[in-house]
Amino acid sequence: MIWLHYLIYGIGLIWIFVIYGNDEILFSLVVLFVIFIGYFGINQVGVFSSENKKNLSSSTDDFLNSKDEVNISYDTIKNPKYVKSGLNQETAIEIHKLLKEVIEKNQLFTNSELTLVELAQTLDVLPNNLSQVINTFEQKNFYDYINSKRVELFLKLVAIPENKKYTILSLAFDCGFNSKSSFNKYFKKVTNLTPSEYLNSLKIDVM
């Protein structure tokens, strides 16, 4: 804007007279400068005219939306406890995808002795990175995640009519649980019901 340049020049000129000029000339110059500012300022297109406001609002919305998208995608793999982790988003997503594929296809959780280290070795990833992925994407620690998968499998098996000849505990062992207390604990944690309450609600008879 040219008038802004004039404004700067005018202020500079006033300071010259403040230092080297006399009071009368300085007073007259200030009056003229004020009139100049008033005249040209009023005749300028508003900085925040409706069009500019619209453009500004659009730009702001675009920025906020893009910022939200970045935060959402970042938050899906980041957790405050992993601030110093070197695991990036792309790698984390790949590990999670591989985890889901292997877990569902091979049902590794049916191994009652499965550990985080063993699972990490199977996926060929670092245990710390795998733990971070499970915590962040599944919102569970390793043991809660694995046992939730065991409960899911149990719910599928117990719904099959042919499995009525098996006891609840034998089916639980087939799913990877190694004790009745562990099975009951995680079953209720996942379903908010005890195994008996769940089966009774669906009228499923299992020994």
pLDDT tens sequence across 27-42: 666 667 666 666 655 5
User: Which one, of 27, 105, 164, lies nearest residue 97 by Cα?
Assistant: 105
Distances (CA, A) of 40 to 28, 32, 99, 175: 18, 12, 67, 82
Average pLDDT, the chain: 77
In a domain, residue 183? The reply is yes
Give the domain range for residue 36: 2-40
For the segment 65-86, what is each residue's pLDDT rounded down to a tens digit?
443 433 334 454 556 666 556 7
Question: Is residue 134 scored above 80 in pLDDT?
Answer: yes
146 and 95 together in one domain: yes
15 and 109 together in one domain: no
In a domain, residue 68? The reply is no
CA distance linking residue 114 with residue 178, whole number of Å: 11
20 and 105 together in one domain: no
In a domain, residue 18? The reply is yes
102 and 21 together in one domain: no
Rounded mean pLDDT of 105-128? 95
31 and 97 together in one domain: no
In a domain, residue 29? The reply is yes
In a domain, residue 7? The reply is yes
Handedness of CA 145, 146, 152, 154 (dihedral sign): negative
Residue 196 near residue 161, CB atoms below 8 Å: no
CA distance linking residue 143 with residue 145, whole number of Å: 5
**What are φ and ψ of residue 125, in 5° steps?**
-135, 165
Q: What is the CATH number of the domain that holds 102?
A: 1.10.10.60
27 and 102 together in one domain: no
Q: Indicate the residue type of 191.
A: T
Domain count, the chain: 2
89 and 29 together in one domain: no
For the segment 142-185, what is each residue's pLDDT rounded down to a tens digit?
999 999 999 999 999 999 989 888 999 999 999 999 999 999 99
The secondary structure element, H or E, covering residue 18 is helix 2-20
In a domain, residue 76? The reply is no
Rounded mean pLDDT of 1-25? 62
Rounded mean pLDDT of 86-96? 90
Distances (CA, A) of 143 to 22, 116, 138: 86, 8, 12
123 and 195 together in one domain: yes
27 and 91 together in one domain: no
